[in-house]
Chain A
Amino acid sequence: MNASFLDTAAFAAQVLIGLAVVFAATRLVIGPRAQDRVLAMDTLYVNAMLLILTHGLRTGNPYVFESALVIAVLGFVSTAALAKFLLRGEVIE
């Protein structure tokens, strides 16, 4: 009964985070300026990482942790590079 509670809770969390992904994707599409789109993409990265962690929690797969860590690192690097691009017009100078 307890395991099924965790399964139901993780499914509910997946639905909620999926809704958050839809919100962030909407801001990514309608965002009036480039910095709004970069911010929405960063939020999208975080939400995708949470979705993968919740999937790992639901299936009980311990190897999902590595993919979530890789997504966190890639999200940081890409957002930092895009912010640098918005500031200077080039990434590596």
Chain B
Amino acid sequence: MNTLAGILVVLGALLALAGSLGLLTLGSFYERVHPPTMGATLGTGFILVACVVHFSDMQDRLVLHHLLIGVFMVVTTPVTYMMLVRAALHRDAAQGQDLLASSRRAGPAAGASEEGQG
């Protein structure tokens, strides 16, 4: 049981490290949004499962309340990052580089062709 918890905690730490490394090294903001989600969901999940395994082993009963943090992180991380990316798109549009303009032009045409085929 301790071996399983040790392997899980190192896996989670490696995922968190990979997420932060991607945050540091990638080029643009819209690329940098992606890597931290890995540490926030899967890295947190591995470390929380390690906590569940270790404390269940230590207290001789099933200890599951650590998974509450995992549920909370899985629910809130997409919400915050979507708000953040919307704010970044708004700021980019305010500075004159409208990254949504091309998709706005392509969007209705692509939808119409899909409707035509359907």
Contacts and interface: CB of A to CB of B under 8 A. Distances in A.
- Main DSSP-derived SS at the B contact region: helix
Contact of A50 (B32, B43, B63): B43
A79 B84 contact: yes
B110 interface: no
Contacts of B69: 49, 53, 65, 68-69, 72
B88 A80 contact: no
Listed residue (A9, A20, A47) with the most chain B CB atoms within 10 angstroms of its CB: A20
Nearest to B8: A9
Given A36-B29, A39-B33, A20 B50 contact: no
Given A56-B51, A57-B9, A43 B33 contact: no
Interface in B5-40: 5-7, 9-10, 12-14, 16-17, 19-21, 23-24, 29, 32-33, 36, 39-40
A42 B29 contact: no
The prevalent SS among residues of A at the interface is helix
23 contacts: A5-B3, A13-B13, A16-B16, A20-B16, A23-B17, A24-B23, A33-B29, A33-B88, A38-B84, A39-B29, A39-B36, A40-B23, A43-B19, A46-B40, A47-B39, A53-B47, A53-B48, A57-B47, A57-B54, A62-B63, A69-B69, A72-B73, A79-B80
